[in-house]
Structure 1
Amino acid sequence: MSASVVVREYACLTTAPVAPDDLDCAQVSESAFDWLCELSARFNSNGAKLLQVQGRRSLKWDSYVGVLETPCGTRLEIVPKHHEEGDCLQKGRQLLRKLIQRALDLKAREASVAGLELFEAPLSEWVMAQFLAELDLLVKRGVRFDYQRVEEEQRFLRGQLNVVAQMRQRPGKQHYFQIRHDVFQPNRAENRLLKSALEQVAKSTRDANNWRLAAELRAMLSDLPASRQIDLDFRAWSTDRLMAHYQAIKPWCELILNQQMPLAVSGEWRGMSMLFPMEKLFERYVEGWLRNCLVPGAELITQGKGIAKSLCKQGSEPVFELKPDFLVDNDGRRWVLDAKWKRAGQGAEKKKEALREADFYQLFAYGHKYLDGKGELALIYPRTRQFDQPLPPFDYSPDLRLWALPFDLDADRLLIDDEMQFTDCTKAAMGTAPLDQAVIPG
């Protein structure tokens, strides 16, 4: 029997009864619990941390968000732990959809964007709705056909005669022709993948509107075969100008078919599962914001691409490569920025929870390797009610200082202190808006 469980990051999953509607603790079935333990072991063997086992009947989720479907039919939805008051579930779903769209550069249909606040379905249903909307538009515009070479035996001559095969014809079959010809049909890699994704949606959706549209599209595409080699068909996906109208649906198709996206994680079970590390989603979102708000002439470099430095060298061999999240260059000046998905606070105890000593050592190394010990660095945290303004700067030396800055995910802006010179390379309307104009989460 299928069941839906909704929790937040770092929630506790247990087989014991718990209070209903608690996003920080939820009950799962014994079969789902055992499968999650096996999945956690596979993650740990690959160097990723998904769950912490706490006793025999309890698991603690880590910072992955998204949807996970178990073989027994339990659909586990994990939303970001960002909003504390009000409708945390609805706001968490809205935030997660926004982060995934920016991180994977997905284009949502305008009708869905307009009704984003009213769409309360889980992430998987939203992804399937976006895929169906794109597929519906594509079918109305026309599915791409292509010529396919066919070699067959017929009683009549059509196309070209395959002379070699005809000469090897067995006695008594000389009245048959071995021919080759081209057939104009929609059986191509892109359409096979769309059919496979459509079948997956029709089987997995629990939303009446999604199921109805999926049934209509299945009837229209009934003659199309499904893909038997998904990886090979994705590699054969054409990007020429005649296939331009297929590009918008490709990322949705990849998500549904559990392909290895830059941030997605999929296991051996081929259910409707999409897990994303929240740290990477936040980092990608901040990157997209920075690209949009930099003034002309400023350059954004991610992960030190092309100019990566190392902490030290052993002979001529670099050791311990240093890759800050963002480098911003403008008019001969440089800033080093690092995004951290942690909850920083104003009080001393709250500050210690997020401002970790290891992060300060990391930024200290960045400052000396990328700024030659002179300049400004910043740690960017999500804005919360307790952390709604930049902290006073931390001085490594008279020439090198570190800022802790809040990023408002609801209002889409980085809050910067007037003393920090980073505003020189950002559009004034984006980075220096008054705090009282921003939306406080929760």
Structure 2
Amino acid sequence: MTTNVTVREYARLTTAPLAANTLDRAQVSATAFEWLCSLNAELRPSGSSLLQVEDRRWLRLDNYVGVVETPCGTRVEILPKHDDGTCDVSKSRELLRRMIAGAMDLPVREVGETALQRFDSPLTEWVIAQFLSALDHLVKRGVRSDYVRVEAEERHLRGQLDAVRQMRQPLGRQHFFQIRHDIFLPDRAENRLLKQAVELVCQQTQNPTSWRLAQELRVLLQDVPRSANVAEDFKRWRTDRLMAHYQAVKPWCELVLSRQMPVSVVGRWHGISLLFPMEKLFERYVAARLQRGLVAGARLTTQASRQSLCEHDGATMFQLRPDLLIEHAGQRWVLDTKWKLVDGGNKAGAYGLSQADFYQLYAYGQKYLAGKGEMALIYPRRPAFLHPLPAFRFSADLSLWVLPFDLESGRLVDGAMTSFPLRIDPGDVGFTIPSVAIH
């Protein structure tokens, strides 16, 4: 029996009884509590921190979102915390799905916005539904087969006679033929991975519609063996013209088998766990949307690594890696994304901005822009941060914008106020015409 617990980033989990679970405080079983602690201990050496243990009865989640399942049947769903106020679970789930699909460039097969709103289920069920929809579409178009070389001993000659093996036949068995021939079978790397993913879905889904479709697809793939080596089979996944109709299902298959996740715990047991660091997810989502809004000829680079902070003993030290670097017509712009809450009305408290972030952008401006140009810090839009802040001046030639990014529409608010090479058509998918001018 699966127990579902829904919380959001930085929520606290406990084994102690609570009057009621909320998005910020929830009760889990002692076995789930211990398993999460042990998982965090294993991830910590790699630099990942899933949670902070406060004492024997409380732990605090970090800034990961997604779903993690424990062997005891507890499924913890972690939603984004994009506002301090009350959180609508349905809207948060919808936002998380949209950000994942946009950040990872996933081909989402849905009828429209109505279907998206109607599918109010945890993240794993949404991924499963998308995978099954893509696989069902693929099967209807036809599963690719390939020739498989078979070596056998038979009474009748067919294919090619293996002369060496035939001459080594012992007396009394010379009436058997040692042959090799090719059989046209669906046993190929792509189909083996899809078969393994379908079987995993059959075990894990709790949605009746998904379960029925998964069972139907499982029967249709009954002649395909499961993958014996997932990593090697993904390397063999072909992308030529004959396999073009397989491309839509590949990213969903990777998600189900937990190969695209920054944190993958699928190998620990037989569940599906999808965890995303919110900082990276926000960065990739913004990058994908900005890429669609650039003018022709502009180029966007993520995590550029061309400059270092200093040189020492003939070598560079402390590499500088801005999240986004835009280049157009000989000019450059540096942008950094921050998954933090900004308060546009709290000037006395520096709007909630970090001085360390400004030091970081100042270094970027000196090294990437030679001290001249415009940069930006991009934060999620919220009721307390609806419009850009007045520009921050490092010098007469170097300035920094603090801009809100609308998560619902995927738009950079008032991007036309900057000199960034953005398209600002009224119907543009990535940007809006400025509604308020800041003097």
Q: Do Structure 1 and Structure 2 share a fold, with TM-score over 0.5?
A: yes
CA distance in 1, matches of 2:288, 2:348: 28
1:68 CA displacement: 0.5
Q: Deviations over 1:189-213 (max 9, x none)?
A: 1111100000000000000100011
Q: What residue is the counterpart of 1:439 in the other structure?
A: none
Residues 336-347 of structure 1: pairs in structure 2 closer than 5 A? 336-347=334-345
CA distance in 2, matches of 1:351, 1:43: 35
The 1:112/1:188 distance shift into structure 2, 3 A limit, reads farther
CA distance in 2, matches of 1:130, 1:18: 35
Q: 2:369 aligns with which of 357, 371, 374?
A: 371
- The one-letter code sitting in structure 2 at the alignment partner of 1:426 is R
CA distance in 1, matches of 2:283, 2:192: 34
Aligned length: 432
1:417 CA displacement: 6.8
- The one-letter code sitting in structure 2 at the alignment partner of 1:411 is S
Q: Deviations over 1:84-117 (max 9, x none)?
A: 5676111111111111111111001133765001
The 1:169/1:119 distance shift into structure 2, 3 A limit, reads same
Mean Cα displacement is larger for which, 119-128 or 392-401?
Answer: 392-401
Q: What residue is the counterpart of 1:186 in the other structure?
A: 186
Equivalent pair of 2:149/2:183 in contact (CA under 8 Å): yes
TM-score relative to the length of structure 2: 0.94
Equivalent pair of 2:5/2:26 in contact (CA under 8 Å): yes
1:156 CA displacement: 1.2
CA distance in 1, matches of 2:416, 2:102: 28
Q: What residue is the counterpart of 2:382 in the other structure?
A: 384
Q: What residue is the counterpart of 1:39 in the other structure?
A: 39
Equivalent pair of 1:377/1:401 in contact (CA under 8 Å): yes
What is the RMSD computed on CA atoms of the aligned residues?
1.9
1:326 CA displacement: 1.2
Q: 1:332 aligns with which of 304, 324, 330?
A: 330
Residues 156-305 of structure 1: pairs in structure 2 closer than 5 A? 156-259=156-259, 261=260, 263-266=262-265, 268-270=267-269, 271-304=271-304
1:344 CA displacement: 0.7
1:227 CA displacement: 0.9
Q: Deviations over 1:32-67 (max 9, x none)?
A: 000100111112111112100111111100111111
Equivalent pair of 2:14/2:59 in contact (CA under 8 Å): yes
Q: What residue is the counterpart of 1:440 in the other structure?
A: none
Equivalent pair of 2:201/2:214 in contact (CA under 8 Å): yes
DSSP-derived class of the 2:268 partner: coil
In structure 1, the gaps of 5 or more residues are 437-442
In structure 2, the gaps of 5 or more residues are none
Q: What residue is the counterpart of 2:402 in the other structure?
A: 404
1:418 CA displacement: 6.3
The 1:134/1:113 distance shift into structure 2, 3 A limit, reads farther
CA distance in 2, matches of 1:59, 1:220: 45
Identity %: 55
CA distance in 2, matches of 1:339, 1:350: 23
1:301 CA displacement: 2.1
Residues 136-151 of structure 1: pairs in structure 2 closer than 5 A? 136-151=136-151
TM-score relative to the length of structure 1: 0.93
Is 1:358 the counterpart of 2:356? The answer is yes
Q: 2:393 aligns with which of 381, 395, 399?
A: 395
1:155 CA displacement: 1.3
Is 1:415 the counterpart of 2:413? The answer is yes
Equivalent pair of 1:263/1:280 in contact (CA under 8 Å): no
